[in-house]
Amino acid sequence: MIDQRIFEDLQTKIDEETTVRDVSRPHPRLRRACPRIFFRAKPDRCAQQSSETHLREQELHEIVQTLARKGRSTQAILARAHSTPSDKLQPVLDDATASIIAQKEEVARLRSVADKHPFYKYNGLWSRELQNLVASIELCAWLGGLPEHKGPDSASFMTIEDVGKFLDVPINLKEQDAFHLTIEEYLLALIAMVEELSRLAVNSVTLGDYERPLQIGNFIKDLFSGFQLLNLKNDILRKRSDGIKYSVKKVEDVVYDLSLRNLIPKGGATA
């Protein structure tokens, strides 16, 4: 004899899973301890609940989509850096900062919703967009934007602590189950920035700026040596960080071309 209720209850649970029906609902893990009420839940009651409110994943999806849309405009603004000489960069940085701050508000919204759920259960939904945002922040900071958010004693880039402080999100939480920026996300963002900078090195030369490729070269070699310290397993981080060496080479080629032709400004190489 198969108990039909088992399947009804599973359906209830699946419906529940996709639904935010009650903001004050206890956390799933807390609920584990108490009797599993949903095994007795009536399907019609559940249907009523799901029509009452919108879907949980949809709510997250909607926030992430907004974040992505704003992220694309941030990236479009930052892309102007490729065709703007460094002395005229300030308006670009101002626009980019404004756009990043708009994204920051979305992150705050995301955090408030995501905090209600187990972090790693839904992390995949927003991880990509958060990485893009952090990459934009890093790039903007490297170009001279967001100066007040760079830690005083930190390296030439914003550390994960700086980024966390700027975005007002915790970083690398290990005990507490709450929204945060993970180390992997941060490192992937750095890699994205490195790729963007290697492109910028080429474009700087086109703009007549022979100094910036050297700065970029030094900077990404520094990061590269950092990444070489990591023991990476066969995962996404490994795949992406393998690409850094090509970025390094791309910039080195530019520097080589410039130095070969004596185009590197004297004394400017160390700026």
Partner 1 sequence: MGTKRSWQGQPVTMQNKSDTQSSDSAGPTISIFEDFRNELDEHHDRRERIIKTSRDITALSKKIIFALQRVRATNNPIPANIAKENQTRLDQIQTLFTNIIPDLTGINAWRYRSISSGIQEYIEAISFEHYLRTQTLITHAEVCERLPAGIMVTEEDYLMGLFDLTGEMMRFAVLSLSSGNAAATSTEPTETEVTDAKKQLPHLAASQADLVVDLRTMRAGFEELSVPRKYNMLRDLHKKTEVMQNSVEKVERAAYGILVRGSERPSGWTPDLSAAVEVEAQ
Binding site for partner 1 (CB under 8 A): 1-4, 6-7, 9-11, 13-14, 17-18, 29, 32, 35-36, 39, 55, 57, 61, 118-121, 124, 153-156, 159-160, 172-178, 183-184, 187, 215, 218-219, 221-227, 229-233, 237, 245, 248, 252, 255-256, 259-260, 269-270
Residue 244 sits at φ, ψ, to 5 deg, of -60, -40
From the CB of 248, what's the least distance to partner 1, in Å?
6
Q: Which is nearer to partner 1, 29 or 88 (CB)?
A: 29
Residue-by-residue DSSP string for 155-183: -SS--HHHHHHHHT--BS-SSS-S--B-H
Distance of CA 217 to the CA centre of its chain: 24
- Which 3 state secondary structure label does DSSP give 19? strand
Specify the DSSP class assigned to residue 192.
H
Q: Which is nearer to partner 1, 92 or 158 (CB)?
A: 158
Specify the DSSP class assigned to residue 25.
P
Q: Which residues contact residue 209 at a Cβ distance below 8 angstroms, ignoring those fewer than 6 apart?
A: 85, 86
From the CB of 146, what's the least distance to partner 1, in Å?
18
The Cα 53–Cα 141 span in angstroms is 41
Q: Which is nearer to partner 1, 11 or 73 (CB)?
A: 11
Q: Which is nearer to partner 1, 88 or 266 (CB)?
A: 266
The Cα 199–Cα 194 span in angstroms is 9
Q: Which is nearer to partner 1, 176 or 206 (CB)?
A: 176
Q: Which residues contact residue 168 at a Cβ distance below 8 angstroms, ignoring those fewer than 6 apart?
A: 104, 107, 108
Q: Which is nearer to partner 1, 112 or 154 (CB)?
A: 154
Residue 254: both structure tokens together: 């530019």
The Cα 74–Cα 131 span in angstroms is 13
The Cα 185–Cα 164 span in angstroms is 12
From the CB of 99, what's the least distance to partner 1, in Å?
27
Q: Which is nearer to partner 1, 136 or 247 (CB)?
A: 247
